[in-house]
Amino acid sequence: MVTVRFAPSPTGYLHMGSARTALFNWLYARHNGGKFLLRIEDTDKVRSDKKYLDEILKDLKWMGLGWDGDLIYQSQRFDLYKKEAERILSAGKAYREGEAIIFKVESGRTIEIDDMVHGKITFNTDEIKDQVMIKSDGSPAYNFCCVVDDAQLGITHIIRGDDHISNTPKQILFYEAFGLIPPKFGHMPLMMGTDGAKLSKRHGGVSVEEYKKEGFLPEALANYLILLGWSPGEDREVISLEEAVKIFDIADISDVQAKFDVQKLRWLNGEYIIKKKTEELLPFVKEHLLAGGVNVSKLSDEYIIKLINLYKIRVKTLSEFVELTDCFFKDDFIIDEKGKKKYLVKEQNKKNINIFADKLEDLEEFSHENIEKTCRRLAEEKGLKAGDIIHPTRMAISGKMQGAGLFEMMEVLGKSKVLKRMRDAAG
């Protein structure tokens, strides 16, 4: 059975590159009906922190990447690593240096792997120094404990980033020392920024947590990471995890570096927001409203759903939703100063707002259809363009030059609030 693993270190949040590694391992396991295991590399007791582990696990679940079986913690397996190191020591393949146990690397050998992504890669052992298995403080060295764990867990395929290629021959030496056949290796090119530099904050963000807070949907983030190095073909860009599982083949992963483009991710996220049912967006939106200081407990789901329907085609992230809809939750909303000067300073605009407010007073049914009819009738009576009334009114009730349809906004805000804001703005 195909068995893969993802092995995060709880010394920081889940990096986008690590999330992609987890995703491709998960896809490979699910496509082949195999197992996706999670091993926690927490041997660094000083830097490891439970808060990071909790967030990593939460982020994986959020993205839909469930794992099989129990978590494996390397920090709980020190005795096993020491026992296995002493087994190699007893076989004469290692030596002690104080409290440390060090593996003797045979010189003059060529190690060859058939990488699932890059094809044949060769290494010369003359370029590899003797390898520490157990450090002088009793903790295991990375390459050694990885092999002990992977062998015991029955890992058949190791899919990871190119930055691990140099570790591969060292690990193969340990497999040989144990008399085991190594798993298949596949090394994916790393993600870079659009400028070709190493992915960093200036390219938009580095951790899954940052993108969650920004208001990206898990499906969109997973979809975008899938496209970084692999393609479903036929120029498709929108694909669900379920669809990807059916057609994923690691042999199709590109062997060139993938460029992370946050603008493309934003576009893709906007597509997912538009297509997602409003009721499904509701819990995500409420979460972001709460984070933005809105007391959602005082709002009905029906009210928020109306706003989602108004704005879902206008936002690329859910944090934008919070910014664009502040006028629906408070009267001291942010006012665009440029828009204020353009639309709320001229006396004629103030006069038009007041006249429009007078006309709206007479409406018994404050629906967007009736509001629009009133506006266009007034514009015709006064010989104005409808925009001469619409733009100043939008600024008066929302403080913004752009947004959802004005008449729909006015209906949701309600007659009394709309008229008060219009009167206040008109002076």
CATH value at residue 40: 3.40.50.620
pLDDT in tens, 92-149: 999 999 999 999 999 999 999 999 999 999 999 999 999 999 999 999 999 999 999 9
* Whether residue 318 is found in the same domain as residue 370: no
Q: Could you tell me the CATH number of the domain that includes residue 401? A: 1.10.10.350
Q: Where are the alpha helices (DSSP H) in 91-162?
A: 142-153
Average pLDDT of the chain is 95
Asked if residue 407 and residue 291 are part of one domain, the reply reads no
Give every strand in the sheet of 72-73, ordered side by side: 3-6, 35-40, 72-73
38 and 168 in a single domain? The answer is yes
Q: Is 215 inside any structural domain? A: no
125 and 67, same structural domain? yes
Segment 362-409, tens digit of pLDDT: 999 999 999 999 999 999 999 999 999 999 999 999 999 999 999 999
- For the chain, helix (H) and strand (E) counts, in that order, are 18, 12
The answer to whether 201 is a known catalytic residue is yes
Q: How many CB atoms lie within 10 A of CB 126?
A: 12
pLDDT value of position 201: 66
- For 235, how many CA atoms within 13 A lie in the half-sphere containing its CB? 0
- Tell me the percentage of the chain whose pLDDT exceeds 70: 99
Question: Maximum CA pair distance of the chain?
Answer: 100
Q: Are 262 and 204 in contact (CB under 8 A)?
A: yes
Instruction: Let me know whether 19 and 164 are in one domain.
Output: yes
Residue 129 lies in a domain: yes
Taking only the tens place, the pLDDT of each residue in 199-221 is 776 666 689 999 999 999 999 99
In a domain, 413, yes or no: yes
Element (H, E) at 132: strand 131-134
Contacts of 21 (CB under 8 A, 6+ apart): 6, 159, 160, 161, 188
List, in order, residues 6 or more apart from 220 with CB less than 8 Å away.
Answer: 265, 268, 269, 271, 272, 273
Question: Which residue type, as a one-letter code, is found at position 295?
Answer: N
Q: Are residues 162 and 287 in the same domain?
A: no
pTM greater than 0.75 (yes/no): yes
Residue 163 shares a structural domain with residue 307: no
- Percent of the chain whose predicted confidence (pLDDT) is above 90: 92
In a domain, 379, yes or no: yes
* pLDDT at residue 33 greater than cutoff 90: yes
Q: Are residues 167 and 289 in the same domain?
A: no
- pLDDT exceeds 80 at position 90: yes
Catalytic-role residue among 201, 277, 298, 338: 201
Q: Which domain holds residue 282?
A: 278-324
For the chain, what is the domain count? 3
- Phi and psi at 327, nearest 5°, equal -70, -15
